[in-house]
Structure 1
Amino acid sequence: MYHTKQIQTTNTMKKNIVVLGATGTVGSKIAQILINDGHQVTLVARHTEKLEKYRDQGAKIIAAEITDAGQLTEAFTGADSAFVLLPDNVTAENTRAYQRQVTGTLIGAIRRSGISYIVNMSSLGSHMHEGNGIMAGTGEQEVRLNQLEGVNVLHIRSAYFMENFLRTIGLVKQAGINGTVAAANHAIPMVATRDVAQVAAGHLASLDFSGKRVHAVMGPRDYTYAELTSIVGNAIGKPDLAYVQLPVEKVREVFLGNGFSPDFANNLIEMGTAISSGYMNYEKRDESTTTTTTAEEFASKVYAPAFQR
């Protein structure tokens, strides 16, 4: 079992580590942790403008699509470990086909490069391969990565990101409510992305896993959407902020208006509406899966500053 509080990236031999999705909410934090600890880090992202600050700190920067097999193979070659993920493509006409293309590209690059340690960003709910929207793709990616021979793979099954609440700041400001298609009072594990990044960075640097493993990262406790809405409301001076479960068709209309493909919108909606089925509560909560950042800390240090900007 892994004990989250004991995972450290310091006091280990310095490694050559690749981070995909380095501009993302988790990847960017992993990058900074590893750079601060003195590792040689290669950062890969489609758009690298936000990564230039890391170049000055000694990181190598590669601009590449997640489906660019040649670039990924080059990045992985000679590396001790790599962080991989399955990024969203909001314009994909067929979400699952796109996800399978990405997974296939990653597997090919891993095989050709000879890299032997992979930390894969997955999600709670990835034990199911249907009925959970975009998480069906992360579940399939786990299975396919597990078929790699001679490669150690650790799947980080993360809880629902607290940072997802930042996406509805516009709704809070315009309508005075918070809302998604998910039920208001079904409690699920929620986690701050800085805790996910700390766990992932620790494994990338220490190479403390073998074979094929899962490490769930579940935050300090379970929260309902209504409860976390109340917590962020208190942090921004709106203690009466209410959470409203929004009608599916209204949410679909908003997604399509934002340029999402119909298929991607349907996958997001299926994920949200299925949460109350319990698929997000499959993993066991214990010392190894519990992290420390509370919703109150997230609300004061992350949500409130973002709301004020």
Structure 2
Amino acid sequence: MSVTVAVPTGNIGKFLLPKLLESGKNITVLTRSPQKLEPTIRERVTIRQGALEDANFILEATKGTEAIYWLNPGNKKAEDVHGWYRLYGKSVANAVQKNRIEYVVNISTIIPEVVEAGVADGIVHVEEFLNETDANVVHLRPGFFLENLLPQISELKFKGTITFPIPPDREVAFIATSDIADVAADYLLNKNWKGKKIHILHGGEDLTFEAATKSLNDAIGTTLKYNYISLENFYKDLIAKGVTKAAAEGYTDIYRSMHLPREVEGIRSSETTTPTTVGLWGKRVLKPKLDSL
């Protein structure tokens, strides 16, 4: 069996690849930057270098593939967010159909159907294109990545703050990307579904950011505080960092959707719950990174 993995060096892919390699399967990776792969991984996979939005590259690179893991990278320079994701959707769906790929695990988002959900609403286009193929497709819709905290690692370490445009009293479905990788690997290796399926992943627990910050403090012995910023200021910060107006609006709209009631993200169940809590992630991932600074 041949499994193809897109974005192998991403937050999910870096956990997914070792799991797939342990199974003894032949693994092909699609990447712009092969040098970012760990050397021990690089020598055990087949590397296809190219852009995921390049339909011809994807078509050629996925020949002989039985199952594919697909993730849609964002583009902070995009002038048309929906057009960017339609390009991805057409690219992968064309390859899946023409190469008769039987199984697709697609990383989507927990809030794709919320009105004006920006980038999240754009990602749903990829779901739509894949649903038009003959493949068995599962759309994993995970909650808020705990790894979203890591770009703020310096602020966490030296300012003691966690900053997001999410109301402090709004419950969030926090999930570790290693748990997403576990679910994706199970689907790719066991191929235990038929047709088109949506699998929501709420992570280990629902917490407000104030409660999550307390959990992190208890886990790693810090005095972090949650700093809520307005959507307007978040948008302005993105523009100041060189993000296009369209992309900044798209990312801001994701957080705008997180001002809506928690029910828009679905009801938690045993199928949607994964093992890693916020505190456990803090001990395993955040503390070592903070200690290394």
1:55 matched to 2:42? The reply is yes
Q: Which position in structure 1 is the counterpart of 2:77?
A: 91
Q: 1:133: how far off?
A: 1.8
The TM-score, its normalising length taken from structure 2, stands at 0.93
Aligned mates of 1:100, 1:222 — CA distance in 2: 31
Pick the aligned partner of 1:145 from 130, 145, 149.
130
1:245 matched to 2:228? The reply is yes
| CA contact 1:225–1:243 (8 Å) conserved in 2 | yes
Q: Which position in structure 2 is the counterpart of 1:225?
A: 209
Q: Which position in structure 2 is the counterpart of 1:172?
A: 156
Q: Secondary structure at the match of 1:289?
A: coil
| CA contact 2:66–2:103 (8 Å) conserved in 1 | yes
Aligned mates of 2:273, 2:230 — CA distance in 1: 33
1:27 matched to 2:10? The reply is no
Q: Which position in structure 1 is the counterpart of 2:266?
A: 283
What whole-Å deviation, never above 9, does each CA across 1:147-187 have from its counterpart, x for those lacking one? 21x21111111111111111222333454322111111111
Aligned mates of 1:221, 1:231 — CA distance in 2: 11
| CA contact 1:20–1:83 (8 Å) conserved in 2 | yes
Of 253-262 and 176-185, deviating more is: 253-262
1:191 matched to 2:178? The reply is no
Matches within 5 A, 1:31-42: 31-42=17-28
Q: Which position in structure 2 is the counterpart of 1:181?
A: 165
| CA contact 1:192–1:293 (8 Å) conserved in 2 | yes
| CA contact 1:125–1:279 (8 Å) conserved in 2 | no
Q: Secondary structure at the match of 1:123?
A: coil
Q: 1:91: how far off?
A: 1.0
Aligned mates of 2:206, 2:262 — CA distance in 1: 14
Q: Which position in structure 1 is the counterpart of 2:288?
A: 305
Q: Unpaired segments of 5 or more residues in structure 1? A: 1-14
Aligned mates of 1:147, 1:115 — CA distance in 2: 13
Of 291-300 and 265-274, deviating more is: 265-274
| CA contact 1:17–1:204 (8 Å) conserved in 2 | yes
Q: Which position in structure 2 is the counterpart of 1:12?
A: none
Q: Unpaired segments of 5 or more residues in structure 2? A: none
The 3 A distance-change label for structure 1 pair 247 and 126 is closer
Pick the aligned partner of 1:268 from 247, 251, 270.
251
Aligned mates of 1:170, 1:131 — CA distance in 2: 32
The one-letter amino acid of 1:135's match is A
Paired-residue identity, %: 26
The TM-score, its normalising length taken from structure 1, stands at 0.89
| CA contact 1:123–1:138 (8 Å) conserved in 2 | yes
Q: 1:280: how far off?
A: 6.8
Q: Which position in structure 2 is the counterpart of 1:111?
A: 97
Q: Which position in structure 2 is the counterpart of 1:16?
A: 2
What whole-Å deviation, never above 9, does each CA across 1:11-48 have from its counterpart, x for those lacking one? xxxx2100001110011211111012211111111111
Q: 1:220: how far off?
A: 1.9
Q: Which position in structure 2 is the counterpart of 1:64?
A: 50
The 3 A distance-change label for structure 1 pair 46 and 279 is farther
Of 280-289 and 68-77, deviating more is: 280-289
Q: 1:226: how far off?
A: 1.6
What whole-Å deviation, never above 9, does each CA across 1:56-104 have from its counterpart, x for those lacking one? 2x21111111112222112221111001121101111121111111111
Q: Secondary structure at the match of 1:155?
A: strand
The one-letter amino acid of 1:218's match is H
